[in-house]
Amino acid sequence: MRKSVSQRILRFLRLVVFYICLLGLYLPAAAADLPAAGREERIFGVTVDDSWYGEVETDAIVEALRTMPVRPAVRIVMANELQASEYRELFSAISAVATVMAAPVDSYYMSAYMDVGSYLDRFRAAYEYLSPYVDIWEIGNEINGVDWILQDPSLIVAKVLAANDYIREQGGQTALTVYYTDPADQDLFYWLERHVPARLAENVDFAFVSYYEDDNDGYAPDWEAVFGAMARFFPNSKIGIGECGNTAADATDWTKIAMAASYYGMERFCDRFVGGFFWWNWVQDCVPHQGNPVFAAINSVIAQSVIADAEQPPRD
């Protein structure tokens, strides 16, 4: 386990944020009180996957989203076992209270699509049934995660490029998510330079980083350097975090609040940094939302982040 001085400082600051939230010094703000420019520029996202089926009602998820201090973005991860048509009710309900980012193929399911044609068929079906409810299409998720995708990078990129071309031809916005880890384990930007052509890098609307501290021994990235490199590689994209979360088996409300605060409270590293975050276990951690300390803390940090962002001067 890597325990640098900066990591210890980061963990200390997280605990400070937690206690501030606990004491109520971060005052939740109503959406009407937040600066309009901040709401338009920043994305505060959460993830809704299929792990809650049978345990949580859709109405409870919608009500929690409605109660957030800004209109959130919801990344809906579609299960491979379900047809796109089966998602209409969920997408319709969530789109009434949130911006929707559809993820027709999570990296966990990428290997099920053995060729470009089958991958493209998934996106065509998703677009046919769900396009009235979707604002952003994630055309590739954690595409450099070859250790678990178990496909050649050239095939992965060909599938993603075909999906990107298709969605953009329909007039849709696209997002591409890459997986970040300790560069000693995989140099993300070397991988991108080697495998991702300019035609893809220059033609996605959003370029996101997925990062899980629990999977990386608590390694603390230099986020300013990471997002600077992302902005250079994706010159026309809005930049942010596409997945994060406290997924460890021994995670507690304390650790979830501290970690969530460190992400949702991030400063704008460059003018194209839009946030995102898309907390992975949001349904499990925050629904039902009444009296839920994780839900309350995330909302409080979001409210303060919007205010702080409005006061932050532009950056290159």
Q: C-alpha angle with apex 143: 281 to 110, nearest 5 degrees?
A: 75
| Residue 98 near residue 135 (C-beta atoms within 8 A) | no
**Three-state SS for 34?**
coil
Using pLDDT thresholds of 50, 70 and 90, give the confidence band for residue 41: confident
Residues 6+ apart with CB under 8 A from 126: 78, 84, 87, 102, 104, 137
Domains in the chain with CATH codes: 5-308 (3.20.20.80)
* pLDDT above 90 (res 121): yes
| Residue 48 near residue 76 (C-beta atoms within 8 A) | yes
- What average pLDDT is seen over the chain? 89
* pLDDT above 60 (res 23): no
* pLDDT above 70 (res 27): no
Reported as a single tens digit per residue, the pLDDT across 256-311 is 999 999 999 999 988 899 999 999 999 999 999 999 999 999 999 999 999 988 87
62-88 burial string, b = 16+ CB within 10 Å, else e? bebbebbbbebbbbbbbeeeeebeebe
**Three-state SS for 173?**
strand
Q: How far apart are CA 84 and CA 279, in angstroms?
A: 23
Strands 99-103 and 136-140: parallel
Q: How far apart are CA 238 and CA 53, in angstroms?
A: 32
Of 95, 87, 96, nearest in space to 53 by CA:
87
243-266 burial string, b = 16+ CB within 10 Å, else e? bbbbeeeeeeebbbbbbbbbbbbb
CA distance to 82, 97, 234, 291, 311, per residue, from 73 (Å) = 22, 9, 21, 22, 22
| Residue 134 near residue 104 (C-beta atoms within 8 A) | no
Reported as a single tens digit per residue, the pLDDT across 194-248 is 999 999 999 999 999 999 999 999 899 999 999 999 999 999 999 999 999 999 9
CA-based end-to-end distance of the chain:
35
* pLDDT above 50 (res 87): yes
